[in-house]
Chain A
Amino acid sequence: MKYILIVFVVVLTIGIAGCKDELSKHETASVHEVTAVGSQWYGHIPVWCGMEKKIFEKHGFHVKWHFIGKSMDRLNAISSGEAQFASIGEIAMLSAMAQGNKRFYWVGNQDIAPGFEGLVAAKGIASFEQLKGKKIGFPFGSSVDLTCRMLLKQNGLDPLKDVQLVNLEVGDVPAVFKAGNIAAALIWEPGFSQLKAVDGATVLGLDTDTDVYKKFGTMTGPDVLIIGKAWTDSDPERAANFMRAYFESLRWVKENTDDAVKMVAGNYILQDIELIQENMAKFIWHDIDAQKRVMSDTGIFGQADYVVRILHEDMGVIPKKPDFMQWVNMEILPFEN
C-alpha cells in the first residue's frame, strides 16, 4: 500500500512538472530569450538602452544581460551557445577566427571611439625611452595589446626585449598602476580616466597615435558586433528581427545621447556622469545606414587586413591569417533600401 502511494506521488510530481514545462514553453513561444554579454564599456550602451526602453520587448525579445569583462570570454560564451549576442573587441574576434572558431557571425561595427585608450606612465616617466626595462601592464589579447606594441615600436622600443609586458585583468589595471607596481599601463574607458587621474601620471600615447589610426582612422581594436551562428542559422528571421531592434535602439541612443547617458550612468557604467557625457561627445555611432559604408574594404575590412598581418607576422600570436569574410553575415542586417 505504502509503495503504491509513493509511486502515485512520484508519477503525479513528474506529471505536474512536465505540464508546467509545456505550459511555460507555450507562454514564451512569442517572446525570444536572448542573452547579451558585455562589460562597462560605452559600446554596450545600445543594448542597455534597448532593454531599459523596452525596444527589444517591442520586437518580441527578452534580453538578459550578463557582465563579462573580457572580449575573448564573451566570445567563448557565445561559442558555447550560452549567449547569443555581444559587442567585443576586433582583436579577440580575429584571433578566434585564426584559431578556427566558426561558431559566430560578424555582423557589424557599431561605433568608432578613438582616443579612449592609451599608454599612461607613472610619475617620473615622461618618455618612451625611460620605459626601458620596466613593467607595462594591460590585458593581453585586447585592443590595448596592439596599441601598446605599436606605440612601443613606433618609438623605437622592442616590446619583447626592451620592456616587461605583464598580463592584468581589466578591472585590476587602475589599482595595480596606482599601487606603483608597474611603470606604465594601458586600458580603455572607464579605466583610462582612472589611470590619468593618478598623481603625476603622464599619457605617453593614445590609440590615435598608432599607424592604424593614421591609415584607417579607427582605433586599433574597434568594437565589433557578433552573434551566435547556430542561433542565427536555426531562425534567420528571428536574428534579423533582433538586429532590427538593436539598431533601432542604437539610433535612439545616437539621437538622445544625454538621455541615454543618464539611463546608464551609475547603473551599467560606474563612472561620473559628467565624464561619460564628455567622452560621449567624441563617440561616433554607426547606425544601420552607416553599416554598408563601414563594413567594407575601404572601411573596417581594410583595417582588419592590416591588423591580421600585424598579429600574425609581427607579433606571432595567431597561427595564420584568417579569411574573416567567411564570418561576415550582413544578410540579417535590416537595411531599409
Chain B
Amino acid sequence: MALIQLDNVSKVFSSRKVDVEAVRGFSLSIRKGEVVTLVGASGCGKTTVLNMVAGFIAPTSGKVFLEGEPVSRVEPRCGMIFQSYALFPWLTVRENVEFGPKVNGISRKTRKDLARNYIEMVGLTGFADSYPGELSGGMRQRVALCRALANKPDILLCDEPFAALDAMTRQVMQQELLNIVSRSGQTVFFITHSIDEALILSDRVVVMSARPGQVKAVYDIDLSRPRKIDVQLTDEYLKIKRKIWDLVEEEVKASMNM
C-alpha cells in the first residue's frame, strides 16, 4: 500500500473577483522509504500539492490518502519543512526541536534526549541554547530539519527548503539530507525548482506542468547511491537532466505566454 496517495486531486482558489485553478487532476502515490521530488516552474501549483498533503488546505475535488485514510485536517504525521524555516524565534534551538514532542505529551526527559540526539546529528550541539535569530540560514534550516524529525513523521514534506541558501550551503544541506535518508529510510516528498537538486536527492522525479498543475512526466532515477556531487558529471545524469530540462523549459514558456 502506498504511504501517500493523491487521487485525481484538484484545487481552485476562489476570491471575490476570480477563480484560479491551481491544480487539476493530480494523481501520485508515494511508497514508504521513497524520496520523490516534484519539479516545475514557479507558480505551477507545487506548494499547493504539498499543502494539501499536509492538510493545511483541502482539495476542491479528489482526495489525499495517508496510509489509506483520507487526510481531513492538519496532519502531524506529515512533517513539514518550510522555505522560510518557520522556527519560533522566542525559543532556543533545543526548545524548537522539543516543540513537537512537547505538544504531543512526550515526557520531559525523553524529549530532552531526543532533542540532544538530533541536534548532535546535524552538528549544532554548541548552539543548543542559541536563539534562531543568532544563527545563519543554513543552521536555521538544520534546526527546522531536526524539529520535523524529532516528531518522528511518517513522511517529510519539504517546500523548497534550500532555495534561500547560497550555493555552497545548499550542497552541504543536500548531502546532510541524503545521509539522514539513507540512514533512517525516511520517506521524503520534496519540492524544488532546481533540477540538479531533484536529481541528487530523488528516487523519482515528478515534472509538473504550468498552471493548472498536472503531472506531466514521472522519471525513475536509477543513479547509484550514495550520491556525491560528482554524479553530476556522469552521462546518465546529463541525459536525464536534458530530458527533464526540455520538459520544464516547455512549461516555463507556456506559462509566460499565458
Asked whether any CB of A lies within 8 Å of a CB of B in the complex, the reply is no
